[in-house]
Amino acid sequence: MTYEIKTYQEEFLEDQYEVGKEAIKDWLFEAQTPVKSLRETYSQPDFDPTTRFYAFKDDKMIGYVLTRVLGEIEGVMKADLSYPRVLPGYKDAFNILYEKAIEELKKRDVKVVRAISSKQWPNTVEAFEKLGFKYIAEVYRIFNLEPSKFTIDGKLDMTGVSEFSPETDFDEVVEFFVRTRGMDDDRAQHVLDIIVNVYPEEFFAHILLRRNNQIVSRAVCTRMSDDTGNFYFFGDEDYFDKPIITKMVEVLKEKGIENVNAFLTKDTLTQEGNHLKLGFINHGEVSRYEKEI
């Protein structure tokens, strides 16, 4: 088939979301980025609309591929490339989009293209290997917890565990950010203000743990889809235990959340043991692949 290829325009965002959602519906532990987040990302000063390519058939968007030039890394010009998202029935658009992206990257003197893939994303590893990509390294490991299968111990000591309240906890969480994340006070207030006032619907749960009247750890579950969230733990890992995860699960069960994912990088793999101990299951890795062009 013949397709019309266009570069990014803001009016494409709604269709991009729908195409992406359909194209990756069988991928596990992955979801299409919401339009609101896409719009924010694509409005940043360093965004280059000429590195995003969209395929149309009879004025209908049927696929797209995203790239980003990274600049020189260890003396080599590199770029990131997403797995081309294509609607069912338009399989041949995959290679057309890929080739268009590579053509543009070559014009920008890119020598190496990077991509990520996982066995949990059907056919992606095989497709990249067929295109000549080689495995480089693990990017992160995937863990999953199903709240419905988590047993809540009614006798567990929940002292110091609470759900975050902007009215009573704001200043303490700002202080926690400053103390544990190296932020200055203004930056910490800005970050928390965004969480509270800009993206409140993106947080399924926000749990705090105090010891000696001070926040020592914090756990959040952010929206991935309507029934799936992503879990993040911050703070003293000695307090990443049953009470804080129990409170999290209680909140998530009330909201009908069916799955909770955690993605651990090399910087957070020290949490792997606690995740497994608390009921998370290891579902493999997401890996980086590269190809010289």
Query: What is the percentage of the chain residues whose pLDDT exceeds 70?
Result: 100
- Tell me the two tokens of residue 265: 């990088």
Summarised one tens digit per residue, pLDDT across range 180-237 is 998 999 999 999 999 999 888 899 999 999 999 999 999 999 998 889 999 999 988 8
pLDDT at 33: 87
Confidence of residue 154 (pLDDT cuts 50, 70, 90): confident
Q: What domains are there in the chain, each with its CATH number?
A: 4-139 (3.40.630.30), 147-257 (3.40.630.30)
In the predicted structure, residue 240 carries a pLDDT above the cut 90: no
pLDDT of residue 59: 94
Q: Are strands 85-86 and 76-81 parallel, antiparallel or unpaired?
A: unpaired
What are 78-116's pLDDT values in tens digits?
999 999 999 999 999 999 999 999 999 999 999 999 999
Return the pLDDT at 162: 96
CA–CA gap between residue 153 and residue 245 (Å, rounded): 11
Question: For position 183, what pLDDT does the model report?
Answer: 93
Residue 4, SS3?
strand
- Across 168-255, the runs of DSSP E, i.e. the strands, are 203-211, 214-225, 228-235
Q: Give the pLDDT confidence score for residue 77 in this predicted structure.
A: 98
Q: Quick one: tokens of 33?
A: 């980025």
Mean pLDDT of 40-49: 90
Angle at 138 between CA 277 and CA 262, to 5 degrees: 35
Pick from 31-35, 167-171, 206-210, 226-230: least confident: 31-35
pTM (two decimals):
0.85
> Can you give the pLDDT at residue 239?
86
Distance (Å, whole) CA 62 – CA 190? 39
Type and span of the H or E element at 62: strand 60-73
Q: Which of 103, 120, 51, 44 is nearest to 80 (CA)?
A: 51
Q: Quickly state the pLDDT bin for 70 (edges 50, 70, 90).
A: very high
**Confidence check: pLDDT of 251 > 90:** yes
Evaluated on CA atoms 234, 235, 236, 242, the torsion sign reads negative
Question: Token pair of 163, please?
Answer: 């759900």
